[in-house]
Copies of this chain bind each other. A is one copy, B any other.
Amino acid sequence: MLLPMTDEPGTRARLINAATRLFRQRGYDGTGLAEILAEAGVPKGSLYHHFPEGKADLACAAADWIASEIVRVLDDSFRAAPDWRHGVTTYCHKMAKLFDILNSADSCPVFGLLFDGPDQERFRGHAAAAFDRIIAAAARHGEALGLAPVTALDMAETFLIGFEGGWMLARMRRDSAVLRSLPKRLYGPPAS
């Protein structure tokens, strides 16, 4: 079958969904295969069919998926933004809303899921690559808004560093206000 044509998510997608959610909440080592399988409603055999290397494979797929989601939100936020600050502000508010939806707290930042894991080197590399993809996306928007390439990259990095730390604190405090206050923290009071 070239095209599934069925709208309901296939086995593979359901696995990634469940894994993403659970890893985000309990971390890689904190989540058992049994849990993922139960939530996805998928037997063990299927997991090892779609992800021959097992849990690690699944985690990488989940990380890639969540990174692409982040990029999507980023693109959304900058679509109609007149300048950098507006784009960033919209992004922070969108993510704050998401934070509130995700049962308001216990979920790791963008993909903090990737730090434990057995062969740490593979995970680390994967996380770094995913994060760089996100930074690049933000920098692209900066350039489109007239920033010099070097400046855009620098601002994108700085912002996402702040955002990661902000998400961490928001999580600790169970309060998305930290995220909403980020633009003001980083760029001072709004000019307007």
Contact = CB atoms under 8 A, between A and B. Distances in A.
A164 B169 contact: yes
Interface in A106-161: 106, 108-109, 112, 115-117, 120, 124, 127-128, 131, 154, 157-158, 160-161
A161 B185 contact: yes
A163 B186 CA distance: 13
A178 interface: yes
A128 B27 contact: no
A168 to B, nearest CB: 5
A103 to B, nearest CB: 11
Contact of A105 (B106, B108, B124, B182): B124
B173 A169 contact: no
A173 B128 contact: yes
Contacts of A116: 26-27, 29-30
A124 B162 CA distance: 21
A116 to B, nearest CB: 4
Interface of A: 26-30, 105-106, 108-109, 112, 115-117, 120, 124, 127-128, 131, 154, 157-158, 160-166, 168-169, 171-174, 178, 182, 185-186
Given A30-B117, A161-B178, A164-B164, 4 more contacts: A105-B124, A160-B165, A161-B165, A161-B168
